[in-house]
A and B are shown apart, each in its own frame.
Chain A
C-alpha cells in the first residue's frame, strides 16, 4: 500500500519542524563560534554573522586556557578508557566462562550495583579521597574507572556468552591457560563490546562535570567541561562573556564526542545487540 503524497505532507511538515528545532541551535553554535565580538553584542541579535572569523579557533588557544583544559581532559580520559576496557573484560570473561563457587552471587551483586545512584556514595568517597591526599589531582577521577563498572561488565559478559566455547576448548588443547584464552580468543572476538565500553567511558568522562567540580580546585588542572564553565564565570557582573569564544570552546567539547559516536556507531550496534536490544 502506497499512501498518496497528500497524506505524506503533514508527516514532512512535522519532521522538518522538529529537525529545525534540533539542528538550528547547533548551526547557531557554529555560526556564533565564527562570529566577531562585535556581532555577538548587537541587539536585536541577527541570525547569521556578516563575516566569519576562523581566527576565533586560534584565539581560544592563545587568549584562553582551553588548550590546557583540553590536554587535561585527554590525560584523564585515556587511562579511564583503558582501565574500564581491561577490568570489565576480565570480569566479563570470568562471569561468562569460568566456573567457580560464588559466581552467581557475584553476578547478582554486579547487577545490584547498577541500582545504586552515584550521589548515594559521593560523601564517603570524597572523604576517602581527601584522606588519601588526592584533592587537586586526577586520581579521584581516574582511579574509580580502573575497576570496571556494573554496566560495562554486564555488557561484556552478555557478549562473551555468545562466543562459541569450542574456541576455548581448541585453545586449551593447544596448551593455552586461562589468561592465554582471554588474550588470544576472547579479546579479539569481543572487539565490538570492548569498543562500546570504551565509547561509553569516553562519553561519561569527557562530559563529567560533578567529579572535577568536587575534586579539582586548581584552574591549571581543570578538564575541558569544568574549564569552559569557569570561563563563563570569570567575567565581571554585568559584563557579557565573549560568547563567540565560549561557543568555540563549546565546539571543542562537542566535536570529539560527535566524532566518537559517528565512527563508533557500527560497534555500538553490534555491542548493544548483546544486551538483547538495539541501541543506536
Chain B
C-alpha cells in the first residue's frame, strides 16, 4: 500500500464516484415521489376524466367518450341532436382572453410609471414604496375584491360622491359588468406588473439615458430607442405574470361579474358544480393549461433570444 500513498487508485475512485451518484439519487427519491404523486398524478386524472362520460350526479362513468372535449366548443341540440357552436362557451373564451389582454395593458399603463417612480427614488425610500406595493398581497383576495365592490356598487363610494357633486343624476351601473371585472383584475394584478419592471428599471444604467440625450435624442426618443428595449425583459415578465392568472381568474369575476359575466375559471367551476359535467370541466381545464403553456413558451423563447442578443 506504500505506493498508493494514501489516495485512491483510479479504479477505486471511479467506483466511489458511482456510489456517490447512486446515493444522491436515493436521497432525492422521496421528493421525486411526492412530485409525481401530487403534481403529475392529478394532471393524469384530469386527462383521464376528460375522456370519460359524465355521471348523473357529478363524478364520471367509466365509459370512453369524446363528448367532454367536443362540448368545449360545440353543443348538441337537446331535441334533434344536431351539432352547433357552443356560443356561450366561445363568448366566455373571448371574454377571458380580451379581459386578460385589457388587464395586462392597463396594469402596464399604470405599472410602468409606478415602477419607474419607485426605481428612481433614493435607495432608502425604495424599500418603503415596494413594501406599500406588496401590502395588498397580505390580505385575502376575496376581502380585497369585496372592498372593490364597496367602491363601485350602485350605492358605493364612487356613485355617492358623483351624485353628491351633481355630476350624475342616477348611479352608474358598474357592478356585474365587464368593466367591474377589468377594474378588479387590474387592481389585483398590478403588483405583479410593477415588481418585474421595477427590477428591470433598477438595473438600467442611467448613464445610457444621458448618452442618448448627449447624442441628440429627445426625452421621448431616448425612452423609445434606449430605455424601452433595455427594460423589455421586465415588461414581458410582468405581462406574462399578469396575463396567465387573468386568464384563469376565478374570484374576481365571480364577485364583481356576478353570475352573468363568466370567465374561463368560472366556467370550469360550473362544470364541476351545478353543471355536473366533470369530463367537460376536465377538458376545459386542460385547454386553459395549454393556453397558459403557450404563453409561457412564448415568454421563454423571447427572453432567451434577448439573452443571446444582449
Instruction: Say if A and B assemble together.
Output: no
Chain A residues within CB distance 8 Å of chain B: none
